[in-house]
Amino acid sequence: MRFLNFHFEPVSAAVALVATIALIFFALQTSFRRFHSRKGKQHVIGGTVLDQFFNFHRLHDFTTDHAKKHKTYRLLSLFRNEVYTADPVNVEYILKTNFANYGKGWYHHGILTDLLGDGIFTVDGEKWQHQRKDLFMKATLDQVFKIIIGVDLDTMCGTYEEGTKFSNAFDEASGLTLYRYVDILWKIKRFLNIGSEAVLRNRIKVVDEFVYELIRKKTEQIQKPQHDSHVIKADLVSRFLALEETDPKYLRDIILSFIIAGRDTTAVTLSWFLYLLCKNPHVQEKIAQEVRDTTKLKNTCNIDEITTALTEGTLQKMNYLHAALTETLRLYPAVPLDGKLCLSDETLPDGFSVKRGDMVSYLPYAMGRMEFLWGNDAEEFRPERWLDENGAFQQQSSFKFTAFQAGPRICLGKDFAYRQMKVFAAVLCHSYKFKLAFENEEVNYMVMLTLHIDGGLHLARYHLDFKYLAAAVLALVIAVLVAKKHGRRRKRHPIAGTVFHQLVNFNRLHDYMTDLARKHSSYRLLSLSSSEVYTSDPINVEYILKTKFSNYGKGRHQYEILRDLLGDGIFTVDGEKWRHQRKAASYQFSSKLLRDYSSSVFKGNAIKLAAIVSEAAISNQAIEIQDLLFKSTMDSVFNIVLGVELDTIGGTYEEGSKFSSSFDDASAITILRYIDVFWKAKRFLNIGQEALLKKHVRVVDEFVYNVIKSKTEKVHNQDDKPVRKDLLSRFLELDETDPKYLKDIILSFIIAGKDTTATTLSWFLYKLSKLPHVQEKIAQEVKDATGLSDFSKPEEFAANITEEALEKMQYLHAALTETLRLYPAVPWDAKICFSDDVWPDGFYVKKGDLVAYQPYAMGRMKSLWGDDAEEFRPERWLDIDGKFQQESPFKFTAFQAGPRVCLGKDFSYRQMKIFSAILLGSYKFKLVDEHKSIHYRTSLTLHLDGGLHLYAYRRFGYSNS
């Protein structure tokens, strides 16, 4: 339990150890006296609770070791014995025959009550019977489903901050509650409110506040006369309220008991199931084949087809899958140990006596490993043990296979759990093969109430710990049911998968989305709270970006992710704020003065880059050109926006280098927020990546505010008002003096101009290195346009690159555009739908849906670009006279379109053409490793993963002396 590392205080541990050693002798003496005072013999002593304490990290294997020696044994503790059994005869006696004599009792109730109150897992007698009856009446699949989604916590995406806080607090409270079983000082610490008990109290407070607020809101809903009774009564809380069960404490206890029963157990089992399939690939393949045989589907069908085919009939036929899941539960039961309290003295069937007050536990984890129960292969994963000679599933005694308890307390949700696990397992095994990311890494459990995998389960490159798996289970089940519900009312785009599939395919995300786009020009991916709609249809793109522009914007979700770094800049806001900044920026970008100034900056930085390339060419050293391009474009955009020479490529300006480094780190961490479901909690606690982000944002802000302050003073103190060329100075001259406003707009311009151009130039040079005939054709065009030769220096090329010369470089312009078609700097762009709408294709999108168009996928569509869509062919952009010809911006979407079309498009082309002309006019480029495959890194912009390593060769003759 990793979080206990912070709460297991050295002082408390030392006190516990000394106290236990001091008292253990007393306990042994007391036990010895009780042994002689009892009627009947007692079970063999296997150790003391101190042994449990020292073996806490391997607790269940510790109990298994003892159970292999003695089917039933005792551990000694203060004032009572703890009896553990793996004998099915004793288990049946405890759970069924003499059920009334074994319950939770005061001991378990005392440990669990702070978190679970008087819920069904903490009480006995009349209270238990009352709740058991209520839950049995309501625990249908439909009701359980609606109980789960009555409130959308969205822990997977982290959009609901209070829900994420609740989930985290509930996890920690569960772990700390379990710790009480081995912490003999927990009551003292609770009384003093120190250590782990102080943390537990804090976590329970968060849990209680959330649940009581939910109950209050539900109560108000149910009491409103105008409510829709059918909708309100769908979830369990509302149904209890409708039956006039209005005691908030009673409802709170029921809710938390139901959550702890239904949330972790299924996800824990599925995690171990996938782990075992990775270790036993022949089982994985056998399950996949069974799913294909029973559903009559091929590997190529989409998620909607699979889920539709998973009827009760097909699930019933999946006997091998059922056996594999049951075999998983045998070896890795979700609840590995279950304890009762003996309520009166008696003798177990094995002839040994137990005394009133003894804790009596049966051991599902240990029982699954007993050779006397399962044979010599007990510790092997072998689903076949559950099948008869005809391949039909055969049950075992519930007192031998105890994963779902037995007797009167048998798990009510057993059938629901199997159904949920089979649906999820069938979809995954049908669609994917799984492999452990680290095959030699040992996988262990984390000691908690349920058998979590410690550190999660890493498959391929993806982290599937039990929380994400639970969220994925819910996403799948919820999404399919919601889709069917809405499908009856309005036509929705076809379902191509879930957001879980994006996670599984994260390393090839854009190609995965392209594969889906080839099947459906517009499709949906389902998430826990809404749909995500992706389109490659130019008609839909035009509708989103232009026709119905006002209905699609950044929205609250993206604003919250970006605002810590970019504030209220043009890329984070909608509405009036966006229009004001757009108007101001548009005015500045249309200035000839700024255009001329930017051209001189681009040339200067291209010459600096050429000097570094020249040194590498002379010494025959490889260069990592992507990193150099990032630095060079950063220097360029910084100079144009702020009028400051950052010189990251030369490293002469220390403060500038600090700013650049912090800005890069802050940008990367901000991007991580899109996939880190816990970022808000980390920000609140100021830990991990969010603590680093805060530090880097502070460096960025201080630097920019100092530049603004310095510029403001210069503008105000100089009487002659010299012509100022950088954007900041021009804004100041227009009396835009609010530092926060200026800072936000400046950083937005920097992030827009820094990575995008460098990324495109990197892919451009990669393609030219793969296609030397294109590289030579561009080099010749540059020489023709500038009137220079191979013997010219980079400085000479820069001096001759005029507006007229750039205009003549039509093939270069086409090659850069072809690069952007195949490798757009921003591979997909998302908006939020503000109100329900119907697209031109006739399909319905809902308020709150994430709506994205896909430049990367669109560039590869044969329906848009012909059969050679995936070939790099600049000629497709030229007419018969060799002149560049535009395409619709709703087909070629690299610069967006409509009102949000990129203001810096012309500046971007100018910078890329100047850098390309100077570099290609002076050098030839070749890949260091021509056989190495180049991939992108999944990020907001399409960086080359690992950079681009090239050799540069001087074109003939010039000396660098």
Binding site, annotated residues for heme: 411
Residues linked to residue 923 through DSSP beta bridges, in sequence order: 954
429, amino acid identity: C
**DSSP 8-state secondary structure symbol assigned to residue 546:** I
Terminal alpha carbon distance of the chain: 65
Which residue type does 614 have? S
Query: Residues with Cβ < 8 Å from 388, sequence gap 6 or more?
Result: 394
Task: Give the pair of three-digit tokens for residue 141.
Answer: 């699949």
Q: Determine which helix (DSSP H) or strand (DSSP E) holds 575, and give its type and residue range.
A: helix 575-589
Give the single-character DSSP code of 928.
S
Contact 512, 505 (CB under 8 A): yes
Nearest by Cα to 352 from 93, 84, 42: 42
> How many Cβ atoms are within 10 Å of 761's Cβ, its own excluded?
25
C-alpha 601/C-alpha 545 separation (Å) is 32
Instruction: Please state whether beta strands 837-838 and 623-624 pair in parallel, antiparallel, or not at all (unpaired).
Output: unpaired
CA distance 655 to 159: 36
| Rounded-to-integer distance, Cα 548 and Cα 480, Å | 29
Q: How far apart are CA 692 and CA 669, in angstroms?
A: 8
Instruction: Give the number of C-alpha atoms closer than 13 A to the C-alpha of residue 822, restricted to the C-beta side.
Output: 21
For the record, the structure tokens of 68 come out as: 């292999």
Long-range contacts of 131-137 (CB under 8 A, 24+ apart): 131/254, 131/257, 132/412, 134/240, 134/254, 135/254, 135/258, 135/412, 136/412
Whole-number Å distance between alpha carbons of 815 and 809: 10
Residue 532's DSSP bridge partners are: 525, 850
Binding site residues, as ranges? Answer: 411
Taking each helix axis from N to C end, the angle separating 105-116 and 161-179, rounded to the nearest 10 degrees, works out to 160
What whole-number distance in Å separates Cα of residue 521 and Cα of residue 499? 18
